[in-house]
Structure 1
Amino acid sequence: MEQRRQPQTAPAPRRKAAPVASQEWLVVPAAGEQRRGEFGRHRIMEMTGLPARDLRVLDPLLSYPSTILGRDRAIVVNLEHVKAIVTAAEVLVRDPGNPRLHPFLQELHARLALPDACTTNPASDDMELGDGQGNVPMPGSAKIQPFEFKVLEVCLEHTCKCMESETLALEKEAYPALDKLTSKVSTLNLEHVRQIKSRLVELSGRVQKVRDDIEQLVDDDTDMYEMYLTRKLAFQGVNESSVKVDSNKHASPDHENEKEEEDSGDDIESSHESSTYVKPDVEELEMLLEAYFVQFDGTLNKLCHVCHISFYSPLIH
């Protein structure tokens, strides 16, 4: 008996992996012309050394709360609508076409256009070359503000201004609304005050998140140390130069003594690095962060005062 042939079914077409969408970024270097372009996630990771999880913090679709993260080669800034990655040489601003970012970009360009107060080498931050040959960095020279701190200050200042502006606008709206409700109780007036109260609570939470994040940074010297990108880059260059000098100095064609000389070179390298490495003083960044902590704390106190009046008004319970 012939077996009936089963109809062949066509294999299901393979689904192509969805390409990673590129995002528009504005790249503003410490020196030179800015450029605008679309960069994929992997390209940004190559440029900044950041892992994918840190880039998700800047995704507006994921609604991450405000935060500032110090990493090995970059600082991740997510403050309200300001989403940026700061390195020692450039800042990458996400979604530069956003109208809310126009004032921030103007402030950033104005700040970076200002000449430095000192003429020291920006690559060496606040260190000078102590031996006259550029081999040993020494603390105590005249300071200039590192590029990453200039950008960070603009980010904090802009965010502070925006939140203060929102607070003042709510203040101007809240007190007349409460007076109106007191003089005439109505459903319309009551609903207006409740809406204002809801906005006050929401804004208070955002301001407190930024304030608490700054406080957490100030309380941790290690986190602040991670944000000294320019200085870390300078130390890296000095140590690499030291390794090359030591390896050339101790190279020998005598193979019998090769192992002994390698060990000696390692000891010298280790000794040299330990003697030239100076842990950066975090006082400069600490003072910067504390100044803005005070400002955000003052804004939060204003909001709490208005919230207190609204919450304890007997007419809206």
Structure 2
Amino acid sequence: MLMEKPENSNKAESTAPSSGARTGAFGHVFGFSGVKKRGHGSRSWIKIEQNGNTKVMELDKSTIMKDCSLPSRDLRLLDPLFIYPSAILGREKAIVVNLEQIRCVITADEAFVMNSLDGSVMQYKTELCNRLQASKDQADVLPFEFKALELALELTCTSLDAQAKELASEIRPVLDELASSISTLNLERVRRFKGNLLSLTQRVQKVRDEIEHLMDDDGDMAEMYLTEKKEKMEGYMSNDPDIDNIPSVGVKWISKSAPVSPVAPVSPGAATIGSQKLQRALSSITRSSQHESITTSSSSQKEDIVELEMLLEAYFVFIDHTLSKLSSLKEYIDDTEDLINIKLGNVQNQLIQFELLLTAATFVVTCFAVVTGVFGMNFETPVFNNPFTFNWVLIISCIGCGILYFCFLVYFKGKKLVPV
């Protein structure tokens, strides 16, 4: 006998959502349809070429890493989802710049700027294109990478200095008003401005420390001469006979930081001969680069990096001046706080002195009340028989209380009851 399948089971199977449907429903409820793995999505970049042309491109992290020979941790500095302090890193084929809102990767021929609606990014793109186009027919004093780096430093230092000036123009009138009139509203405004000042000082300090770190390390500065390294590599490759005689085995010449992969099938013999010659050429280049590194570590290296050192020194002085202005503003706030504390201490002293004088006056009045109470008691004594006794007691009490009150005044008048 055939048994029928219950209808509710079919209904359950037909209505049971799949995992993908559940994910889609979950994403629809919470405002996203799918979750991408961090670091694998494409981002919008502005590509600025050496001739001043620009292009907006969608590039993923792997493409940037491959083209610029950068590790993943360097590109993480540019991720807008994370908050990293300012940094300038010199690498084999690129310079990674993270200065406030300007986040870019600079190579010897082009610069990749992370696209953003921030005004600093648009200003950087426009100004760099104008400078590159204006210097087309002129003899280039600085290579492309230094022009791009200099503009990033210039805009960052100028922006921080403008913020420091604006903060100083806002906080000084409030401090002057607080010094003359202490109120809760003025204290709250100064507290808010002081927090903004601390945050701005930390940002300026980080940029200053980064420039100082570069100036102190000659190796990092030498690593940032990308155009010079590229020209040396191209000249070596064009003049080396081993490189020219390597058979076409379908191997691309790429950086040592990227893997070498064949792009076309070749015969084993040709591949072996080509790989042997390529290996000899690479070892020759490695020995040459090691020799150059040893040579540049001497006094000649100091002469080679003097151009970049002078560029960094100019902006180091600029940002150090901004930091000095913020430090003087912090000292002005501290001086105002000290003045307020002195005023409050003085008022507190006056209140305490007034309270002590009031206490002394109460003591004098109490003495008279005691005398009156003694003479008003209902018992007999020979003293009460003399009519002038009460007058003498009253006179002596007044003189004693007056002397006592005068001593109180003299003692507490010259005392600082609360340190000011």
TM-score above 0.5, yes or no: yes
Aligned residues: 273
In 1, the alpha carbon distance for the partners of 2:152 and 2:244 equals: 44
In 2, the alpha carbon distance for the partners of 1:299 and 1:179 equals: 22
**Relative to total residues, which structure has the larger helix share, 1 or 2?**
2
1:124-173 per-residue CA deviation (whole Å, 9 max, x = no partner) reads: xxxxxxxxxxxxxxxxxxx7311000000000000011001000001101
Q: Which residue of 1 aligns with 2:330?
A: 307
Q: Which residue of 2 aligns with 1:86?
A: 106
> Which runs of structure 2 are paired with 1:35-114 in the superposition (5 Å)?
35-114=55-134
Aligned CA distance change for structure 1 residues 100 and 247 (closer, same or farther; 3 Å):
closer
Q: Which residue of 2 aligns with 1:149?
A: 146
- What is the SS of the residue equivalent to 2:240? helix
Q: Which residue of 2 aligns with 1:290?
A: 313
Q: Which residue of 2 aligns with 1:257?
A: none
In 1, the alpha carbon distance for the partners of 2:101 and 2:227 equals: 26
1:241-283 per-residue CA deviation (whole Å, 9 max, x = no partner) reads: 23236875xxxxxxxxxxxxx9xx98xx68x958x95746000
- What is the SS of the residue equivalent to 1:38? strand
Q: What is the RMSD of the two structures over their aligned residues, measured on CA atoms?
A: 3.1
In 1, the alpha carbon distance for the partners of 2:52 and 2:325 equals: 42
In 1, the alpha carbon distance for the partners of 2:44 and 2:152 equals: 19
1:116 to partner: Cα distance: 5.8
Name the aligned partner's letter for residue 49 of structure 1: S
1:27-72 per-residue CA deviation (whole Å, 9 max, x = no partner) reads: 0010263210211111111221111110000012110000100000
Name the aligned partner's letter for residue 76 of structure 1: V
In 1, the alpha carbon distance for the partners of 2:66 and 2:49 equals: 16
In 1, the alpha carbon distance for the partners of 2:92 and 2:243 equals: 26
In 2, the alpha carbon distance for the partners of 1:81 and 1:181 equals: 35
TM-score between both structures, scaled by the size of structure 1: 0.77
1:114 to partner: Cα distance: 2.3
- What is the SS of the residue equivalent to 1:68? strand
Q: Percent identity?
A: 42
Structure with larger Rg: 2
Name the aligned partner's letter for residue 283 of structure 1: V
Residue 205 of structure 1, aligned match among 185, 202, 206 = 202
Name the aligned partner's letter for residue 287 of structure 1: M
1:208-243 per-residue CA deviation (whole Å, 9 max, x = no partner) reads: 100011001001110001100001111111222232
Q: 278-287 vs 33-42, which deviates more?
A: 278-287
Q: Which residue of 2 aligns with 1:188?
A: 185
Q: Which residue of 2 aligns with 1:33?
A: 53
Indicate if the aligned counterparts of 1:190 and 1:316 stay in contact, CA closer than 8 A: no
Name the aligned partner's letter for residue 71 of structure 2: P
Indicate if the aligned counterparts of 2:70 and 2:91 stay in contact, CA closer than 8 A: yes
Aligned CA distance change for structure 1 residues 17 and 163 (closer, same or farther; 3 Å):
closer
In 2, the alpha carbon distance for the partners of 1:199 and 1:17 equals: 36
Indicate if the aligned counterparts of 1:117 and 1:144 stay in contact, CA closer than 8 A: no
Name the aligned partner's letter for residue 48 of structure 1: C
In 2, the alpha carbon distance for the partners of 1:310 and 1:219 equals: 33
Aligned CA distance change for structure 1 residues 53 and 273 (closer, same or farther; 3 Å):
closer
Name the aligned partner's letter for residue 55 of structure 1: L
Q: Which residue of 1 aligns with 2:249?
A: none
Name the aligned partner's letter for residue 310 of structure 1: I
Name the aligned partner's letter for residue 314 of structure 1: D
Aligned CA distance change for structure 1 residues 246 and 48 (closer, same or farther; 3 Å):
closer
- What is the SS of the residue equivalent to 2:219? helix
Structure 1: state its 5+ residue gaps.
1-6, 120-142, 249-261
Aligned CA distance change for structure 1 residues 246 and 59 (closer, same or farther; 3 Å):
closer
Indicate if the aligned counterparts of 1:69 and 1:76 stay in contact, CA closer than 8 A: yes
Q: 190-199 vs 106-115, which deviates more?
A: 106-115
In 2, the alpha carbon distance for the partners of 1:316 and 1:229 equals: 56
Aligned CA distance change for structure 1 residues 233 and 244 (closer, same or farther; 3 Å):
same
Name the aligned partner's letter for residue 282 of structure 1: I
Indicate if the aligned counterparts of 2:74 and 2:96 stay in contact, CA closer than 8 A: yes
Q: Which residue of 1 aligns with 2:271?
A: none
- What is the SS of the residue equivalent to 2:108? coil
Name the aligned partner's letter for residue 338 of structure 2: P
Name the aligned partner's letter for residue 188 of structure 2: E
- What is the SS of the residue equivalent to 2:103? strand
Q: Which residue of 2 aligns with 1:128?
A: none
Name the aligned partner's letter for residue 296 of structure 1: I
